[in-house]
Structure 1
Amino acid sequence: MGKQKLKGKNLRAIQYSSNKAISLAVSLMAKYYKHSTVEEQLKLLIDIKENYQNYLNHEHLNILAEVFKPSEKVIRQEIALLEEAKDFQVFGRKHISSNAYQQMKWAMKLPIAKQGALMPDAHQGYGLPIGGVLATENAVIPYGVGVDIGCRMSLSIYDLDAKYLQRYQYQLKVALKEKTNFGTGGELGFSQKHEILDRKEFAATPLLRQLHGKAVRQLGSSGSGNHFVEFGLVEVGTDNPWNLKAGEYVGLLAHSGSRGLGANIAMHYTEIAKQKCLLPSPTQNLAWLDLDSEEGQEYWLSMNLAGDYAKACHDQIHYNLSKALGIKAIAKVENHHNFAWKQKQADGSESIIHRKGATPAEKGVLGIIPSSMSSAGYIVSGRGETTALQSASHGAGRQFSRSKTREQMTRSKLKKILNKEQVTLIGGGLDEAPIAYKDIEAVMLSQRELVDVVGKFTPKIVRMDKA
């Protein structure tokens, strides 16, 4: 070989198989051993490959030696579930499908599970069932929270009567069309300000920095599916939390969440949880993050920011519509689901309470439990029932899947239902037709231990996606 230049084929002949090893060998020999013959270089390179440990501290050859160092294989052992599911309380069992019940049983086999409950609106979801409540020990489950982090209901009550809805129906419809927007990627198209956009948490992680622009663009918009913004009538009795005169008022009710911000946070940290927390196939979507870990702390910070962002979106929805119509609220009610709370248990210990499609119902806490686009929902006050982890349903809950609902419903059928109930619908897919939902009266009866009814909301002008 004499004074030949070292080539890739020479290296492959001595079993240098990776491109990285070949590239490093050629570079190092040319730089530090250019006066050695090819034979001498090859002899050295063979020795590095066969006795890499002798070169790990070498000034120049250590980087090549690292290539031949066997990778340390981390053996990750699958986490064992409990042999028997822990008991959990079920409200309205006859309204709950077997697959949702089974999902909750799997959740109660997690070694971190402390207590659980299933609300009467429960149906199958990802991770926890929708309507599932789970208390865990110092751990958070991203899919136990859900994709639409901090999704909420918010109701503004105005000192206006039913005649206002009839007299200004055109203006209300225009305001809903111009001041709201729905669906994936939905944006309002006009500049908005809110303190949430200046929160320092947006600089806390690379993911949040990346998502800040999307949060700016989507502020005040709503998601797809069952999300809505609607005007309707609020009925209150003499004994109500706002000391209002008994009677009917105009109400504005919205249901939406944290938009692309929350969805991206959920997907990002679910994948991390699945990599760190190996679970058997039926429970893989229940992978958790230890709150003492860096990833757990990042998720907790991000989840709380997304929850505050969801509230900011509702702030803007109500502000934009009230301003456009020149009306001012005299009372407001808000509650959220798809979230995790740090909460003291009866025994004094702290748990992480996941409410997936279930809402807080601590004693005296107000909330809204809506039904469908054509049926009345309820304003409630929590009773603080500990067996339900101080929770209640977040709605009537689906009884039919989206595909099954579409099979049974036509536009003409939907129109007849809405005409009968004197409801105007802007947008809305057939999969959100009223038949998709359980009977709200039966659901409320099943959770009479959990909440007291303090008012009623009946939708009249409903805005949804697909307008």
Structure 2
Amino acid sequence: MENKRINGNDLIALGYKENHTLGVALKINSKRHGFTRVEMLEKFKSVLEDPTGYSEDAVFGILAHAILGQEAVDKSLIALNETPAEYTIYGASEIETGAKVQMNIAMKLPVSVAGALMPDAHQGYGLPIGGVLATNNAVIPYGVGVDIGCRMALSIFDLPASILEHNLTALKEVIMRNSKFGAGNGYLRHERVDHEVLDNKLFRENSLLSSLKDKAWTQLGSSGGGNHFVEFGIVEFEERDEVLNIDSGAYLGLLTHSGSRGMGATIAAHYTKLAKSLCKLPYQAENLAYLDLDSHEGQEYWLAMNLAGDYASACHEVIHEKIKSALGAELLAKVENHHNFAWKETWNGREVIVHRKGATPAAKGVMGIIPGSMATPGFLVRGKGELSAIQSASHGAGRLMSRTQAIKTLSSHELKEILTDKGITLIGAGMDEAPMAYKDIHTVMASQKDLIDVVAKFLPKIVRMADDGSRED
């Protein structure tokens, strides 16, 4: 109990309200300042009861001033609506309470028009991962997410699935030679490739983006950490798909998941800080700070976000072209979709800004890929355009447990047994990405059968992920 971290609930029990003062107290608590847990709680209680007496205190003075100035802060905040607007939850029984609480707060924003929660949803920063939010002429940097434009890309080759069985070592080498992983990692100058995305005029016109261009070039064609991957697998079509012009059968497929790397993360951090300085929201909603699209700042973020999305697409293009060339194969079809993005769309006859933070676009006829985990199937899907889901679907299976919990509790022996049983070769990754840390993809898919049709199944066979503890996802 002595080492148990003091949290917001502990402070609320002392009489603190869920406001900016609570945030100040938690920040002070993060260092402990030589006090025991009991002593810290006693100090927090004393400061709340007599803030004036602590106004000059070296440690708690900042908290005392926050308490004394809270009333003025409250008057300056943009008020939330008293009750959240109605929204649809898919697979509600499988979604943690924290994600629903976050979605409820998002639906109280004065700019919120409509929302939906996908069956893979779990708690994140600001908008929950798996949250879809339509707003009126406003964009929320944390509603988009940190890894802007993160996406899936699937190449289906004119090679039979049996090639995986007979050429495992060679295919493993192809992935190793043509991919690079991990937060901060990239290519040496002589290894770099050029791409037209680097010629975008924003790299000259926006000082932040200008400072990021060399990093973008260094990391072009690489993948991040966390749940990002490059996989060879089997793409199974049970029947011919006329749109893709692919017959029933099993083909070699290349599936990748990654985003805008360090550039996207820096853009997200910069414009989130800017939004928070301009859009003062109550404490529980501060990570949902938004930028008016009619403002200079809103337009600047919008352009930067779109560039990050184009850059993420370019990264996948480079990886897929390298591997296609190494295989000497012909491409039957390529499908790509992104999430962690905001789109201008029409919903119920009005133009809105649709944020899909970890959600797949699923307008009628639109193709997308919904992966499972390193040892479970993914699905090539076609959207049905369901309005109550704001034409969206899940972006994966969704986490069942946190990364920390997975590392502490899951068995590496069990993971090896699962991989062996399914004939999967794993390169890199940690226990936080074990399939047991994720929800059952089949349950998730069953919860969204009204949102998408399944076109084909993807079975991973050679999986490469970051092996350096990276968390850039």
Letter paired with 2:414 = K
Matches of 1:306 and 1:379, distance apart in 2? 24
Which residue of structure 2 aligns with residue 318 of structure 1? 320
For residue 283 of structure 1, what is the aligned residue in structure 2? 285
Which whole-Å CA distance do the structure 1 matches of 2:187 and 2:344 have between them? 34
Answer yes or no: is 1:103 the counterpart of 2:98: no
Give the superposition deviation at 1:211: 0.5
Provide the secondary structure at the position in 1 that maps to 2:86: coil
Report whether the alignment pairs 1:262 with 2:264.
Answer: yes
Residue 411 of structure 1 and its aligned partner are, at CA, apart by 2.5
Match of 1:183 in 2: 182
Q: Quick one: distance in 2 between partners of 1:81 and 1:360? A: 28
Report the Cα offset of residue 162 of structure 1. Answer: 2.1
Q: Report what 1:394 is aligned to.
A: 395
d(CA) in 1 for partners of 2:173 and 2:245? 32
- Structure 1 residues 74 and 132, CA gap change in structure 2 (3 angstroms): closer
The Cα of 1:325 is off from its aligned counterpart by 2.4
Report the secondary structure of 1:148's partner residue.
coil
- Residues 1:91 and 2:111 are matched in the alignment: no
Q: Does 1:155 align with 2:157?
A: no
Off by >3 Å, runs of 4+ in structure 1? 73-76
Paired residues for 1:415-454 under 5 Å? 415-454=416-455
Asked if 1:115 is matched to 2:80, the reply is no
SS in 2 for 1:226: coil
How far did residue 454 of structure 1 move?
Answer: 0.6
**Structure 1 residues 75, 285: closer, same or farther in 2, change over 3 A?**
closer
Contact 1:152 1:334 in 2 (8 A): yes
Aligned to 1:202: 203
Q: Is the 8 A contact 1:230 1:461 kept in 2?
A: yes
Query: Partner amino acid for 2:410?
Result: M
Letter in 1 for 2:227: N
- Determine which of 327, 330, 333 is the counterpart of 2:332: 330
| Corresponding position: 1:411 with 2:400 | no
Distance 1:401 1:440 in 2: 17
| Contact 2:103–2:131 (8 Å) recurs in 1 | yes
| SS of the residue 1:160 aligns to | strand
Task: Look up the match of 1:216.
Answer: 217
Instruction: Give, in whole Å, the separation in 2 of the partners of 1:441 and 1:74.
Output: 47
Instruction: Report the Cα distance in structure 2 between the residues aligned to 1:95 and 1:204, rounded to whole angstroms.
Output: 46
Superposition deviation, residue 166 in structure 1: 1.7
Higher Cα radius of gyration: 1
- Secondary structure, counterpart of 2:369 in structure 1: strand
Equivalences, count: 394
Three-state SS of the structure 1 residue aligned to 2:76 is: coil
State the secondary structure of the residue aligned to 1:87. coil
User: Could you tell me how far 1:76 is from its partner in structure 2?
Assistant: 8.1
Q: Does structure 2 conserve the Cα–Cα contact (< 8 Å) formed by 1:179 and 1:188?
A: no
SS in 2 for 1:94: helix
Question: 2:460 matched to which residue of 1?
Answer: 459
Q: Partners of 2:301 and 2:119 in 1: how far apart?
A: 29
SS in 2 for 1:296: helix
- Give the Å deviation of 1:201: 1.8
1:368 aligns with 2:369: yes
Return the alpha-carbon distance in structure 1 between the equivalents of residues 126 and 171 of structure 2: 39
Separation in 2 of the partners of 1:451 and 1:152?
A: 18
Counterpart in the other structure of 1:3? none
What letter corresponds to residue 358 of structure 1 in structure 2?
A
Q: Percent identity?
A: 58
5+ residue gaps, structure 1: 1-72
Partner of 1:449, secondary structure, is coil
> Is this contact kept in 2: 1:361–1:450, CA < 8 A?
yes
Q: What one-letter code is carried by the residue in structure 1 that aligns with 2:160? A: D
